[in-house]
Amino acid sequence: MLEKRYAGFVSEPAAGTGLRFDVEVVPPSTIDEREDLEVRYASGCWIMRRGDFLARWNPVSQHGDVRQGAFPYGIDSVMRIVHSLVLAPLGGFLVHSASAVRNGRAFLFSGISGAGKTTISRLAPPDVTLLSDEISYVRRLGDRYQAFGTPFAGELAQSGENVDAPLVALYFLAKGQKNRTRPLTASSAASRLLRNILFFAHNPALVKDLFQSACDFVSRVPVYELTFRPDREVWDLIR
């Protein structure tokens, strides 16, 4: 099930590298799906608990374990949580957005549910490679940022491509009668970005890192508001 869900993202890691998880599948009767998400750090490990999974991860050994039912949603959530923790001190983040590559350059399309992330993904011309229509993966590399494909699918029910490219613009989406862009000030851009970054742990040091990451990001990457109607011409504005 996981090989099919993560097709294109599954490979043999180099010796001694990468995150490693042992997964124990338990009967549904042992799961309480009413339990809310909890992420906390204790005794050298991150503890992640929700009604459908219990996971631990040691950031030093990079080894962890997951106890969950035979459904993909638990491991999906664990992967998102762990990568959000890994990226935070490195100046990167996971963001609720679609992302795509065109002509070797990556673009983010962010917004609340219903803003049009899936719509703009569907409208993409044939020369566009989709990285995600739901959760975008952003890493800082020196003074620039790189966007990576993820297997986390949204309404398209389609994984992104396992490719990456330099990130050149972030667009906050809004539906309207005309296609137009408007540059945002750094303060407005940072405020909007922070509302869309995925982070699950109540950890003051990492929250501070994320706040600084958002400020650094908008100082280096152009940020716009993109108002659009559902036609392919909107992609003429994306550059």
- Tens-place pLDDT, residues 16-59: 678 889 999 998 766 666 678 999 999 999 999 998 899 999 99
Average pLDDT over residues 98-111: 96
Lowest mean pLDDT among 24-33, 83-92, 94-103, 207-216: 24-33
Q: Could you tell me which residues come within 8 angstroms of residue 167 by beta carbon, excluding any fewer than 6 positions away?
A: 105, 106, 107, 108, 138, 144, 145, 146, 147, 221
Question: Does 138 score more than 90 pLDDT?
Answer: yes
d(CA 164, CA 211): 24
Which class is 93-237 in CATH? alpha beta
Residue 161 corresponds to which tokens in the numbers above?
């491509």
Question: Does 219 score more than 90 pLDDT?
Answer: yes
Per-residue pLDDT, 31: 63
Question: Does 7 score more than 90 pLDDT?
Answer: no
Per-residue pLDDT, 217: 98
**What is the SS3 string spanning 67-117?**
EECCCHHHHHHHHHHHHHHHHHHHCCEEEEEEEEEECCEEEEEECCCCCCH
Residues of the chain within CATH 3.90.228.20 domain(s) are 93-237
Question: Does 145 score more than 80 pLDDT?
Answer: yes
DSSP β-bridge partners for residue 182: 225
Per-residue pLDDT, 32: 67
Pick 31 or 123 by higher pLDDT.
123
d(CA 43, CA 56): 11
Pick 35 or 170 by higher pLDDT.
170
Do the Cβ atoms of 215 and 190 come closer than 8 Å?
yes
pLDDT, the chain, mean: 92
Average pLDDT over residues 144-162: 88
Q: Is the pTM of this model over 0.75?
A: yes
Residue 200 corresponds to which tokens in the numbers above?
């699950």
Average pLDDT over residues 166-182: 95
**What is the SS3 string spanning the chain?**
CHHHHCCCCCCCCCCCCCCEEEEEECCHHHCCCCCCCEEEEECCEEEEEECCEEEEEECCCCEEEEEECCCHHHHHHHHHHHHHHHHHHHCCEEEEEEEEEECCEEEEEECCCCCCHHHHHHCCCCCEEEEECCEEEEEEECCEEEEECCCCCCCCCCCCCCCEEEEEEEEEEEECCCCEEEECCHHHHHHHHHHHEECCCCCHHHHHHHHHHHHHHHHHCCEEEEEECCCHHHHHHCC
Per-residue pLDDT, 180: 95
Per-residue pLDDT, 149: 95
d(CA 238, CA 39): 37
